[in-house]
Amino acid sequence: MFQKIKLTDIVIVIVIVLIAIIIGYYYGNSLARNKLWVRSYPIRAQLSLTNISCSNDSPSWLADILKHQTKNNNAPANQIAYIDPNGTLHHCENGYVGDYPLLSDSVTEQTRFRYASVTKLWTADAILNLIKADKLTLDTTLSSLLPEIDTPKDARISEITIRQLLSHRAGFNRYSVFGQDMFGIGKDICPNNLNGLNDIQLGFDPDSKTSYSNLGYCLLGEVISRLNEDKSYKDVIKKQYNFADSRIQFVSNSAMSDEVTYNYVETGLTGYADIYTAFDYDGLASAAGLSGNAIDLAKQVHVMAAKLDPNIMSLDNDVVCNGRDITEECYGYAMLPYQPNSQSATVYYRDGSLLGLSTLVAIDERGSVVALLSNGTPDTGVDHNVKTKIYEYLNR
């Protein structure tokens, strides 16, 4: 009987066994599986680059930006929207909604991405609207609006102002447990335990330096709530910005049916929690809680940018920024200015990132708006090259 076994049969059996072993190994070893997924990116990227769609008469540079994101920033799916100085909307998209190219639907202009920290533009704009309505000023203290701040151990907390919160100069150190509590690190303070502000220690004197703080913007969200008859921040923003007429929605701890998948992998044997469960979504709302597409993002920011001063592009006269350094964190009331030299035009940026996604908005002096959404993040964390590329395109 054994004499009838052919060499080809033996080879086939060996191949089947090897395939089964390989599949079993990667199925049971998430770290190895994720490493393989990372190595496959050039293939996925190339397939995404062949799947670019643009609106009629869109500037060619929009597609160039998407190619840059796909090739350099681990983002196989992207959207970009551009409202030019004449108010004309252009847009491009590339990639696939799901993890697997060709087997998934193509990204369209309606595909949902999470906005991450670009959400802060709505919070800042809503605060500036309250200032114009004479309900508060830039120098109003937080403690005068939140009675929970009554016996702070650090007396400096009583003197924190709206201006300092907007510009990330309130004294909250982003690298301490009190700077990022939306990530579930340290003591839960905002929005559900504001009495905890009485127990914390600031990282530095308010106004002495800039330190990016999600906690500060969560507190601004509470101010918006209190000055709108204690309606929730989400309800106020939904109504004030007519979300019913757009696809913009607040995110939750699960993926939405029209949402893109995000291109990230575990970093260890157990990995970290996924993007849907890694955050405190109450604390996230006013700092990084919105989602939608690039077109709706560009349209809403375009309206914000056209408002009278102070608006999202306004800068504090008391804070000196080196606008020539695009990497410097020197915030106005919502955005960062970039001006390569004193004779050149200024472009204002607001970016953000979460696990496996990055967002960017740019506004130039003519009121043009660029909104870029990507389902990946650069290896370096932030890609300032894409900002300079957009600057060059806007100022040709």
Q: Which of 39-43, 51-55, 85-89 is predicted least confidently?
A: 39-43
User: Identity (one letter) of the amino acid at 386?
Assistant: V
- Can you tell me whether residue 15 is helix, strand or coil? helix
Report, as an integer, the average pLDDT of 74-92.
97
Residue 306 has pLDDT above 70, yes or no: yes
Take residue 200 and report the two structure tokens written for it: 């914390």
Q: What are phi and psi of 348, to 5 degrees?
A: -110, 135
Angle, helices 281-288 vs 233-240, to 10°: value is: 30
Q: Which of 243-247, 259-263, 370-374, 378-382 is predicted least confidently?
A: 378-382
pTM, 2 dp: 0.91
What's the confidence (pLDDT) of residue 31? 62
d(CA 333, CA 123): 10
Average per-residue pLDDT for the chain: 88
The strand pairing partners of 82, in sequence order, are 90, 370
Take residue 238 and report the two structure tokens written for it: 């939904």
Place of tokens 């020197």: 330
Dihedral (Cα; 371, 375, 381, 387), 10-degree rounding: -20
Report, as an integer, the average pLDDT of 64-87.
97
d(CA 85, CA 374): 24
Q: pLDDT class for 269, splitting at 50, 70, 90? A: very low
d(CA 140, CA 149): 14
Residue 220 has pLDDT above 50, yes or no: yes
Asked if 335 contacts 128 with a C-beta cutoff of 8 angstroms, the reply is: no
Asked if 107 contacts 93 with a C-beta cutoff of 8 angstroms, the reply is: yes
Highest mean pLDDT, choosing among 38-42, 109-113, 187-191, 335-339: 109-113
What are 143-174's pLDDT values in tens digits? 999 999 999 999 999 999 999 999 999 998 76
What are 281-293's pLDDT values in tens digits? 777 899 999 999 9
Q: pLDDT class for 76, splitting at 50, 70, 90? A: very high
Q: Which of 112-116, 123-127, 210-214 is predicted least confidently?
A: 210-214
What's the confidence (pLDDT) of residue 301? 98
207 to 14, 117, 163, 166, 386: CA distances (angstroms): 69, 22, 9, 11, 30
What's the confidence (pLDDT) of residue 157? 96
Residue 16 has pLDDT above 80, yes or no: no
d(CA 366, CA 355): 33
Q: pLDDT class for 77, splitting at 50, 70, 90? A: very high
Residue 85 has pLDDT above 60, yes or no: yes
Q: Which of 29-43, 91-105, 298-312, 372-386 is predicted least confidently?
A: 29-43
What's the confidence (pLDDT) of residue 20? 65
What's the confidence (pLDDT) of residue 344? 92
What's the confidence (pLDDT) of residue 155? 95
d(CA 394, CA 368): 8
d(CA 59, CA 54): 9
d(CA 146, CA 219): 9
- Under 8 Å CB-to-CB from 237, ≥6 apart: which residues? 122, 123, 126, 224, 243, 286
What's the confidence (pLDDT) of residue 234? 97
What's the confidence (pLDDT) of residue 1? 47
